[in-house]
Amino acid sequence: MTLIPSEINTELNNLQSSKAAIKNAIESKGVIVSSDIAFSDYPDKIREISGGVGIPREVSEQGVYRVPASTNFILPDNATTIAPYGLAYAFAYAGDKINSIDFNNISTINSHGCQNIAYSTGITTVNCESIVTIGENGLWCAFEQCSNMSGVINFANLTTIGSMGMYHAFQLDEHITGVNMPNLETIEYGGMQEAFRASSITTMTFSKLDNVGSSVFRYCFGNSTLSTISFPALKTTSFNGYTDQFDNMLYGIEGCTVHFPSNLQSVIGSWSDVTSGFGGTNTTVVYDLPATT
């Protein structure tokens, strides 16, 4: 079939419309498609969706993407992954229009996936039990300054926190009384920096944590009510050549006791962060846990 010029123009216009429609469909699933990406690369973007969350979004007066207000937000049952930037700023500054977020069956939060998702809102509860992996910046400032949030935050299945994954995640949430991370094994660079600063947490145990990158606990529990923290699984090989994992971890805290395995005293006992009490005052450091191998 031979097309005359007018028909060619019509087909090109149809192609452009189809491209725009496909772009919108991909982005509705939480995957960003920048304007400089070739149409031939769209299949790769489609593959990125892979169970990702697709939610209608709108641009607010602040110029950020927001999910239309919903008092109690539950992720769909068939969603297991949040794509990069998939829910970034979703409810930020929504005030008391959002009360709870349930991650339901979400196991993976990819890079920046929930950055500032509910920053400075009236949210009271969040269900994180299904989350296994938090990617780079995944929960960056996610629930910071949510002063109505209270109780214990349960990360029952979490194993890995990526670089800056929980940076400021629950900072200044003063009514949080505990955090449960029984299966956490790895924290990459800065993964929990200031994550629970100024909370009301009193005790914390990292039962399986044995792989820590640089600056992972920097100011993590600073200005909180923490009185006891234990690291029973840390090994002499857990620190990846760094010595700054505990920088000011207990800043502003008085009288906290920190428990380590007995074989770590020869490894970390002389570190400046340890000898300074992790930035706290009257800190007690004891090596009274069973030696690790």
Query: Does residue 106 share a domain with residue 13?
Result: no
State phi, psi for 235 to the nearest 5 degrees.
Answer: -115, 170
Average pLDDT over residues 190-196: 98
224 in a domain, yes or no?
Answer: no
Amino acid 68: pLDDT: 55
Q: Which of 90, 89, 86 is nearest to 48 (CA)?
A: 86
Percentage of the chain modeled with pLDDT above 70: 83
Instruction: Residue 166: give the domain boundaries.
Output: 57-201
What's the pLDDT at 98?
A: 85
Same domain, 124 and 184: yes
| Average pLDDT score over residue span 117-135 | 94
Residue with more model confidence, 62 or 132:
132
Q: What pLDDT, on the 0 to 100 scale, is given for residue 115?
A: 93
Counting the structural domains of the chain, the total is 2
Per-residue pLDDT for 22 more than 70? yes
Same domain, 123 and 5: no
Q: Does residue 287 belong to any structural domain of this protein? A: no
Q: What is the mean pLDDT of residues 125-133?
A: 97
Q: Are 266 and 293 in contact (CB under 8 A)?
A: no
2 pLDDT band (50/70/90 cuts)?
low
Among 168, 201, 234, give the residue marking a domain's end: 201
User: What does the pLDDT read at residue 61?
Assistant: 40
Mean pLDDT, range 259-275, rounded to an integer: 97
Does some domain include residue 260?
A: no
Q: Which residues pair with 258 in a beta bridge?
A: 229, 285
Domain end among 171, 201, 231: 201
Give the angle subtended at the CA of 119 by the CAs of 201 and 108, to the nearest 5°.
Answer: 80
Residue 52 lies in a domain: no
For residues 4 and 114, state if they share a domain.
Answer: no
pLDDT higher than 90, residue 3 = no
How much of the chain, in percent, has pLDDT values that exceed 90? 63
Considering the domain boundaries, does residue 170 fall inside one?
Answer: yes
Q: How confident is the model at residue 42 (pLDDT cuts 50, 70, 90)?
A: confident
Residue 122 reports pLDDT greater than 60: yes
Of the pLDDT bands very low, low, confident and very high (cuts 50, 70, 90), residue 226 is: very high
Say what the pLDDT of residue 235 is: 98
Across residues 75-95, what is the average pLDDT?
84
pLDDT (0 to 100) of residue 259: 98
Closest CA to 251 of 217, 286, 212: 217
16 & 75 share domain: no
